[in-house]
Structure 1
């Protein structure tokens, strides 16, 4: 398929991937340090969890998954995110889905709740209808994964579909670190 004939969302993801810096191998674990992770901002509602903050999750590895329920790319990654949440929860991983709608109909709490049930999402989901958390992360993509270490630093990020094996390896790497720092 020619780039110009792709759906806008896919073109946006592909264009963004071309501009990303390569993963740094300078740190001993092979993961880049992207700086302090912003806390969850402007969250109107939480599903599957009481309100969370990164301060209360200190010492745990956190996967922030930006998604929206009508995005086919997001729905294709959701089984992997669900599996990581279930598999690594007992080892210290906390998964937070940040639902940031692209279209007006995706702002519906009822629609989101139905999607959460339909897709078997059991991890925390933060409703970011005003894109405050999205903006705090300077995010531009659906789906987008940010992996945060126990010190609250973004150590891995991935935009779009694919690389599930690399993402899972980064999760395992951070979970094995002493103090998860």
Structure 2
């Protein structure tokens, strides 16, 4: 009698384990610094992280001659295309590793070649790189609606974890919006409007 119950409980736990493992912990890693020293924007007028509060923002450091970056760009582009209408903003920060990567024309050509439609900034002086205390290409920083870094991904891989983190933040955003709408409707009904 105890064995079947134990097997059922163990089976249930095993089915739940993968779902938990796929969602990374969203830990507050501090306030995201502002995009610093950026003079050139591609695919967008200038933006600031301050004006993007309330949205989920993915800041992706890359450079166009880095093979690891080239391999991650399709995933970043796919995230953007999938979630841009749900509140995800992606900002590619092109920080050059070599002098020839400082050319705006080269960065523009690479952005087109890789099919990037999200905003891309040139960080030729490493001001944003240093503000984020970044040390790697590629590196992605996921910022929540309050402007806090809650997830990072260094190097290739971690795609399922980043997807899950983005979804979790967007769901949080959606539930907050629903709660705010309900509270506003309740306030209007209470006030007799």
Q: TM-score, normalization: structure 2?
A: 0.77
1:111 to 103, 106, 120: 106
Shift of 1:179: 3.6
Structure 2 counterparts to residues 138-153 of structure 1, below 5 A: 138-153=133-148
Superimposed CA distance per residue, residues 32-59 of structure 1 (whole angstroms, 9 cap, x where no aligned partner): 1101000100002000000010111000
* Residue 74 (structure 2) aligns with: 79
1:92 to 77, 87, 92: 87
Give the whole-Å Cα distance in 2 for the aligned partners of 1:79 and 1:63.
Answer: 14
* Residue 7 (structure 1) aligns with: none
Give the whole-Å Cα distance in 2 for the aligned partners of 1:31 and 1:57.
Answer: 19
* Residue 12 (structure 1) aligns with: none
- State the number of aligned residues: 153
Superimposed CA distance per residue, residues 50-108 of structure 1 (whole angstroms, 9 cap, x where no aligned partner): 00101110000000000001100000000000000100001100000000001101001
Matched, 1:125 2:120: yes
2:36 to 28, 38, 41: 41
Runs of 4+ in 1 over 2 A off after TM superposition: none
- Contact 1:150–1:179 (CA<8 Å) still a contact in 2? no
SS in structure 2 at match of 1:55: coil
Aligned-residue CA RMSD in angstroms?
Answer: 1.4
Structure with the higher helix share, 1 or 2: 2
Shift of 1:127: 0.6
* Unmatched runs of 5 consecutive residues or more in structure 1: 1-24
Find the structure with the greater CA-based Rg: 2
* Residue 167 (structure 2) aligns with: 172
Give the whole-Å Cα distance in 1 for the aligned partners of 2:149 and 2:176.
Answer: 16
- Contact 1:147–1:154 (CA<8 Å) still a contact in 2? yes
SS in structure 1 at match of 2:165: helix
Q: Call closer, same or farther: CA 1:179–1:101 in 2, change over 3 Å.
A: farther
Matched, 1:156 2:159: no
Give the whole-Å Cα distance in 1 for the aligned partners of 2:104 and 2:58.
Answer: 22
SS in structure 2 at match of 1:76: helix
